[in-house]
C-alpha cells in the first residue's frame, strides 16, 4: 500500500500492516474513479463489497481494484452501470469453470494459472525474447487456447498496460504486446485445406488489436480458416468483400455500443444482402444483445468455449444462442 502523510492513512497503518488492502483514496488514485462514485456503486448496485476496519473505514483488495477497472471498461463500452454487475459475474463464473475443467492438468487450478502468469511476467521484465517464446510455447502445450488467452496472457497484458505511465507508454507492455500479436497472426494465418472460411471483420471502435486477434484465435479453434479484416470504410464495402470472398460465415467483432443507424439500417441491410451466415462476437454482445438480435444478427457468447461451439454450429447450419 502506498503511504502518504494523510492522517487517515496514519491511523490505519497498524490495522493494515501486512495486508494487501487499500483505503478508498488509494483505490481512487489507482483507478481514476472518485470516492463518491465508488460508494455509490457499493450502495446502489452492489458492485463492490469492501472490507471494513473496526472504526468503519472501507478497505479494498486488489481483486476489488480489478473489479473497479472492469466496471469502468464496460461503462466505457456503453453498458449501463446497473447492468455491469451481471456481466462481470458471468465472466467470473466462466473463468472459474475453466479452472475446474483443467485442474487435473499439469498446472493445477487457479494456483497453476498464477504460476504461469508469474513466469510470463518474469520473461517480460527480463526482456528475454527466447525465454518469453519458451514460456508462451509451454503454456500453449498445457492449456486450451481459451484458457491461455483469457486466464494467462490477457491478465498479464492488462497488468503491464495498466502500469504504463500517464501517456500510456510502457516498454514492457509494448514488448509483450508486439510478441503476442505476432504469434497470434502466425497462428491465425495458418491455412488448413478443406475447412470452411470465416471472414472476421472489426467494427468501428473495436478496441486494441490484441483483443481482436485473441478473439480470432478462439474462432479458429472451431475448425475454420479465419480471414481478418481489421478495418472497414463502410458496411457496403464489407458486404462486397463478403460476397467476393465466398466465406461461409461473416463474423463481426465489436467492443463498444453501436450507433442507432448501424443497428436499425446498416446491419439489417447487410444481413439481408448476404447468402452466408452473419454473426457478431465480442463485448458488444453483452452491451446490445437485444438490439443486435432485432437487426437479424446472431449474437455469440462474449467469450470462452461457448464461442467455439457456436461458430461450429453456425458453420453446420445451426445455432444455439448463449445462455442468459
Q: Where residue 135 sits, what CATH number does that domain have?
A: 1.10.1240
Q: Can you tell me the distance from the alpha carbon of 88 to that of 81, in angstroms, rounded to the nearest whole number? A: 11
Has this prediction a pTM greater than 0.85?
Answer: no
> Across the strands, what pairs with 1?
none
| Same structural domain, 216 and 298 | yes
Out of 142, 168, 186, a domain closes at 186
CB 249 within 8 A of CB 279: yes
Give domain status of residue 48, yes or no: yes
Give domain status of residue 240, yes or no: yes
Give domain status of residue 201, yes or no: yes
| Same structural domain, 132 and 242 | no
| Same structural domain, 171 and 63 | no
| Same structural domain, 203 and 284 | yes
| Same structural domain, 176 and 198 | no
| Same structural domain, 282 and 245 | yes
Q: Where residue 66 sits, what CATH number does that domain have?
A: 1.10.1660.10
User: Of 157, 262, 153, 246, whose CA–CA distance to 204 is shortest?
Assistant: 262
| Same structural domain, 165 and 234 | no
Give domain status of residue 88, yes or no: no
The confidence score (pLDDT) of residue 110 equals 61
Out of 186, 208, 242, a domain closes at 186
Ordered mean pLDDT values, 10 residues apiece, the chain (324 residues)? 43 47 88 88 86 86 85 80 75 51 47 88 94 94 90 89 70 92 92 92 83 92 93 91 94 89 93 92 87 91 81 82 57
The confidence score (pLDDT) of residue 6 equals 46
Work out how many domains the chain is built from and give that number. Answer: 3
Give domain status of residue 120, yes or no: yes
Give domain status of residue 95, yes or no: no
Q: Can you tell me the distance from the alpha carbon of 101 to that of 204, in angstroms, rounded to the nearest whole number? A: 35
Out of 35, 66, 81, a domain closes at 81
Give domain status of residue 264, yes or no: yes
CB 41 within 8 A of CB 72: no
The confidence score (pLDDT) of residue 82 equals 79
| Same structural domain, 198 and 123 | no
| Same structural domain, 220 and 180 | no
The confidence score (pLDDT) of residue 252 equals 94
Reported for 173-176, long-range contacts at CB under 8 A and 24+ positions apart, including other chains, are: 175/124, 175/127, 176/120, 176/124, 176/132
Q: Can you tell me the distance from the alpha carbon of 299 to that of 310, in angstroms, rounded to the nearest whole number? A: 10
* Parent domain of 208: 193-315
| Same structural domain, 205 and 269 | yes
Amino acid at each position: 500500500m502506498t503511504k502518504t502523510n494523510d492522517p487517515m492513512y496514519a491511523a490505519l497503518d497498524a490495522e493494515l500492516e501486512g495486508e494487501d488492502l487499500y483505503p478508498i483514496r488509494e483505490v481512487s488514485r489507482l483507478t481514476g474513479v472518485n470516492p463518491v462514485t465508488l460508494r455509490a456503486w457499493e450502495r446502489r448496485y452492489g458492485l463492490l463489497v469492501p472490507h471494513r476496519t473496526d472504526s468503519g473505514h472501507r478497505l479494498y483488495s486488489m481483486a476489488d481494484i480489478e473489479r473497479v477497472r472492469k466496471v469502468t471498461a464496460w461503462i466505457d463500452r456503453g453498458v449501463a452501470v446497473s447492468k455491469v454487475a451481471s456481466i462481470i459475474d458471468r465472466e467470473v463464473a466462466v473463468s472459474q469453470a475453466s479452472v475446474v475443467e483443467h485442474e487435473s492438468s499439469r498446472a493445477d487450478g487457479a494456483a497453476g494459472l498464477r504460476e504461469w502468469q508469474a513466469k510470463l511476467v518474469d520473461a517480460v521484465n527480463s526482456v528475454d525474447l527466447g525465454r518469453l517464446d519458451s514460456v508462451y510455447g509451454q503454456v500453449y502445450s498445457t492449456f486450451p487456447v481459451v484458457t491461455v488467452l483469457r486466464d494467462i496472457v490477457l491478465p498479464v497484458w492488462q497488468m503491464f498496460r495498466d502500469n504504463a505511465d500517464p501517456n500510456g507508454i510502457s516498454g514492457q507492455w509494448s514488448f509483450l504486446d508486439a510478441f503476442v500479436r505476432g504469434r497470434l497472426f502466425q497462428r491465425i494465418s495458418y491455412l488448413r485445406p478443406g475447412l470452411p472460411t470465416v471472414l472476421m471483420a472489426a467494427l468501428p471502435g473495436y478496441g486494441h488489436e490484441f483483443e481482436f486477434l485473441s478473439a480470432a484465435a478462439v474462432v479458429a479453434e472451431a475448425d475454420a480458416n479465419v480471414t481478418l479484416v481489421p478495418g472497414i470504410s463502410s458496411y457496403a464495402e464489407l458486404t462486397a468483400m463478403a460476397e467476393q470472398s465466398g466465406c461461409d460465415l461473416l463474423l463481426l467483432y465489436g467492443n463498444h455500443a453501436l450507433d442507432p443507424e448501424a443497428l436499425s439500417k446498416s446491419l439489417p441491410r447487410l444481413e439481408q444482402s448476404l447468402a452466408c451466415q452473419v454473426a457478431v462476437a465480442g463485448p458488444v454482445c453483452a452491451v446490445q444483445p437485444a438490439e443486435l438480435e432485432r437487426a437479424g444478427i446472431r449474437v455469440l457468447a462474449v467469450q470462452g468455449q461457448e464461442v467455439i461451439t457456436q461458430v461450429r454450429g453456425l458453420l453446420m447450419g445451426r445455432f444455439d444462442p448463449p445462455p442468459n
